[in-house]
Amino acid sequence: MATVQTTENKTLVRDAEVENAPLVIVYRGLGPETGPDYAWDKAEWMMGQIEDALSDDLLKKIIFVVPDDYDQACETCIQQATAKIKAKITGFSICGFSKGGAPLYNNLRLRAWKIVGLIDPVSPSMEGLDNEIVDKYASKIRCVYGDWGDKPAEDKDPKAYTKKERVYVKKRDFHAHVKGLKGAQQVFRSEGHPQMPGIFFTKYGSAFV
């Protein structure tokens, strides 16, 4: 079993057990710094979700990098991780869970990502971006999502939406947009938000290799 190492900026790195392997960077969500409701959403928790979801065979073939929080610079995390690993990197993928969708969208052009993993993420529109920002990466998208917020009444004036209703609509509209993208793979799941990383890696883990 590979050991998990920690870089200077507290990024967690799980090396592969083969000579050549892809690297997958996975951003977590809001985390304990946001308050007790998100105390479970830590880098260590995310790494555990990955390890629990994937088979031993897949874990041996993939390098996983989990930044300490969603504000950490993607390239810095990758460079610091590279100094810790022995395997030769054959390619890169990026995933974002919940608020971790924000750094995913902001780093879409950083590298030629093999897979763009959307793990029940905030929508681009929730971050002040256009939902179309993901369009050119459609064939790379793998997504698992659930409902957020409160569904507004059909006849309710959008100007009168509550915050939770606005969140619901923005998430709904984004995933409807992704559904219409040729090549994108997306599934809706009704399980709770914390279960989404496990569901995602169980379903799409083999896509990284």
Dihedral (CA of 124, 127, 129, 133) sign: negative
Amino acid 3: pLDDT: 84
- Measured between alpha carbons, how far is 121 from 102 in angstroms, rounded to an integer? 8
CB 140 within 8 A of CB 113: yes
User: Residue 117: its pLDDT value, please?
Assistant: 98
Domain boundaries, the chain: 4-208
Q: 0.85 exceeded by the pTM?
A: yes
Over residues 35-39, the mean pLDDT reads: 91
What distances in angstroms separate CA 126 from CA 50, 91, 112, 130, 160, one per listed residue?
26, 29, 25, 9, 18
Find, among 58, 64, 85, 66, the residue nearest to 28 by Cα. 66
Residue 1: the pLDDT is 65
d(CA 29, CA 88): 29
- The separation between the first and the last C-alpha atoms of the chain, rounded to the nearest angstrom, is 18
Which tens digits make up the pLDDT trace of 92-114? 999 999 999 999 999 999 999 99
| Mean pLDDT along residues 24-48 | 95
Higher pLDDT, 3 or 27: 27
Q: Where are the beta strands (DSSP E) in the chain?
A: 4-6, 12-14, 20-27, 63-66, 88-97, 116-119, 141-145, 185-188
Dihedral sign from CA coordinates of 101, 105, 109, 110 = negative
Task: Summarize pLDDT for 58-95 with one digit per residue, the tens.
Answer: 999 999 999 999 999 999 999 999 999 999 999 999 99
Of 60, 183, 36, 187, the C-alpha closest to 118 is 187
Rounded-to-integer distance, Cα 158 and Cα 165, Å:
9
* Fold category of 4-208 in CATH: Rossmann fold (3.40.50)
- The side-by-side arrangement of strands in the sheet containing 116-119 is 4-6, 12-14, 63-66, 20-27, 88-97, 116-119, 141-145, 185-188
pLDDT at 2 over 90: no
Question: What digits encode the pLDDT tens for the residues 136-193?
Answer: 999 999 999 999 999 999 999 999 999 999 999 999 999 999 999 999 999 999 999 9
